[in-house]
């Protein structure tokens, strides 16, 4: 039977550690400000969850809600003020943004040292150069989850299905740091099924419900499912067919309760790290 890699349980461990570390701090508490634009229901749920998580671990939290009609210049002006505010250690601009706003431009406007999403070009460069920095929360959480369960990474063949800037690409960089041999696959990869079946560690982030079946998975592989999809019957499922695959692999993340809870936990970790780095300068 496969080991269930519960991100929900591990996120509790991470939050408890953060609460303890915050209680021992002298001086400023970590401060996170989230900017949300428009009325996207999913974004509002995510932002509320982030705010709640901040309060639970003892962070200062602030949410700036802006109308969908806000101009790019107005957002940039707010980011500039937050960059200069010493009480703000982390700045997060909730995605997606309205079409008239350049996501890349806004991401680049956030001070790299306060970029708790890890999207600034400087932090992307630091990630790929093997330097220290703030890196995307979901991939960081996945690597930490694998370490938490003592899953060997060095020398393993890792395949990442998906090449997004949020998950796929940073996941590849982080696994390279762990001395994995990394392949990034995508919609145009030839013989994707066979490539999946050769992987010791399979990370799937494509947004296609239950695409990965047991004959796509190497016996004994570790399977990390980043997907979150809602089937026609209303059930939330990942990109991996959990019931089909779990008897074949050695470890697997469930959906829900797998990778999802790690994202907010490691947003908090990044904020704590940013606070310490900024105050040390």
Query: Could you confirm whether 94 is annotated as catalytic?
Result: yes
Residue corresponding to tokens 């003592």? 150
> Would you call 264 helix, strand, or coil by DSSP?
helix
For residue 53, what are the contacts with CB-CB under 8 A and spacing of at least 6?
15, 264, 265, 267, 268
232-267 residues labelled b (16+ CB within 10 A) or e (exposed):
eeeeebbbbbbeebbebbebbbbbebbbbbbbbbbb
Active-site residue, from 28, 52, 81, 94:
94
For residue 274, what are the contacts with CB-CB under 8 A and spacing of at least 6?
30, 89, 90, 113, 114, 116, 134
Query: Could you confirm whether 194 is annotated as catalytic?
Result: no
Active-site residue, from 50, 114, 156, 218:
50
Q: How many Å apart are CA 202 and CA 212, to the nearest integer?
A: 10
Active-site residue, from 115, 117, 200, 239:
117
Residue positions annotated with a catalytic role: 50, 94, 117
């Amino acid at each position: 039977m496969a080991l269930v890699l519960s991100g929900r349980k591990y996120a509790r461990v991470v939050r408890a550690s953060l609460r303890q570390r915050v209680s021992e701090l002298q001086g400023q508490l970590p401060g996170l400000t989230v900017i949300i634009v428009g009325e996207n229901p999913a974004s509002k749920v995510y932002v509320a969850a982030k705010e709640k998580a901040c309060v639970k671990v003892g962070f200062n939290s602030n949410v700036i809600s802006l109308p969908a009609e806000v101009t790019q210049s107005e957002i940039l002006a707010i980011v500039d003020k937050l960059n200069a505010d010493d009480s703000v250690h982390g700045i997060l601009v909730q995605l997606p943004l309205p079409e008239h706003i350049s996501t890349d431009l806004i991401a680049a406007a956030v001070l790299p040292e306060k970029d708790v999403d890890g999207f600034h070009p400087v932090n992307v460069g630091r990630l790929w150069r093997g330097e220290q920095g703030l890196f995307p929360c979901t991939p960081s959480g996945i690597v930490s989850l694998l370490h938490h369960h003592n899953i060997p990474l060095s020398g393993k063949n890792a395949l990442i299905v998906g090449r997004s800037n949020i998950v796929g690409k940073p996941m590849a960089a982080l696994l390279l740091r762990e001395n994995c041999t990394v392949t990034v696959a995508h919609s145009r990869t030839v013989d994707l099924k066979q490539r999946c079946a050769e992987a010791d560690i399979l990370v799937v982030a494509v947004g296609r419900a239950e695409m990965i079946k047991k004959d796509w998975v190497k016996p004994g592989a570790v399977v990390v499912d980043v997907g979150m999809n809602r089937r026609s019957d209303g059930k939330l499922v990942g990109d991996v067919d959990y019931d089909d695959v779990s008897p074949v692999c050695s470890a697997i993340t469930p959906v829900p309760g797998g990778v999802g809870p790690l994202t907010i936990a490691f947003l908090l970790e990044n904020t704590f790290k940013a606070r310490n780095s900024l105050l040390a300068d």
